[in-house]
Amino acid sequence: MTARSPLPGPPAPTLDLGGRTALVTGAAGGIGRACALRLAAAGAKVRAVDRDTAGLEALAEQGRGLAGTVEAHVLDLTDLDAAELAAAGTDVLVNNAGLQLVRPIEEFPPDVFHTVLTVMLEAPFRLIRGALPHMYGQGWGRIVNVSSVHGLRASAYKSAYVAAKHGLEGLSKTAALEGAPHGVTSNCVNPAYVRTPLVEKQLADQARAHDIPEERVLAEVLLQDSAVKRLIEPEEVAEAVAYLCGPQASFVTGTSLVLDGGWTAH
């Protein structure tokens, strides 16, 4: 058997989602906003879903002039039937919405645990369920689940978030196995701490849980296990999501694309 030529082939195709409809949850800010804008820049008609009406309006305004469009859809993902209906007819599904509470298990409010699992695991299941008939019918689809390094590793005081992200990893792999014969891929993107309001709101809770001053949380808690000592930017995560939607990633499915600055290398 002869070795393949080391010479480079043709350049990788640019992402063209013209004619495709993408749904992005948690799109009013942070990673979701960056994903919505990136996919719209590639030509997609983006359904931006969130509870934050003002944030969605600002996103829609920011999306004007891109190759695709950004349409705002106010939706509470705890309304699971509405979530499933919202996903009908989508070609690209980005499950991004999330919430966080930092508490020891014995102090963790059961109602919040339930809400976190509903929004971050059960809603993605219902969204995937709603999107698959259309994807299967056309023989093409992309499911990208914004997981976390916490889908692969646990941290103290985050029982609900870690449980939800671990469950999302399993759901994503199952969707990959079922979707493969139909041209549908399903993958996770796993960032470490991202510069988002969700992370910024954790600082006080983390300081309280770890009994340290708030100004020490970033270095001593959030970035302690990362070899790269900075927060990842939302746009970096959006580029990973975009890659998984492109033709060069058609053989990538059932996996986790880790953007953790070396955290899981330990």
Active site residues: 161
The full 3-state SS of the chain, as one line of letters, equals: CCCCCCCCCCCCCCCCCCCCEEEEECCCCHHHHHHHHHHHHCCCEEEEEECCHHHHHHHHHHCCCCCCEEEEEECCCCCHHHHHHHCCCCCEEEECCCCCCCCCHHHCCHHHHHHHHHHHHHHHHHHHHHHHHHHHHHCCEEEEEECCHHHCCCCCCCHHHHHHHHHHHHHHHHHHHHHHHHCEEEEEEEECCECCHHHHCHHHHHHHHHCCCHHHHHHHHHCCCCCCCCCECHHHHHHHHHHHHCHHHCCCCCCEEEECCCHHHC
Q: Give the integer Cα–Cα distance in Å for 187 and 240.
A: 11
Q: Give the integer Cα–Cα distance in Å for 98 and 198.
A: 8
Dihedral pair phi/psi, residue 255, rounded to 5°: -125, 180
User: Cβ-count burial of 220 within 10 angstroms (0-12 exposed, 13-18 middle, 19+ buried)?
Assistant: middle
CA-only gyration radius of the chain, Å: 19
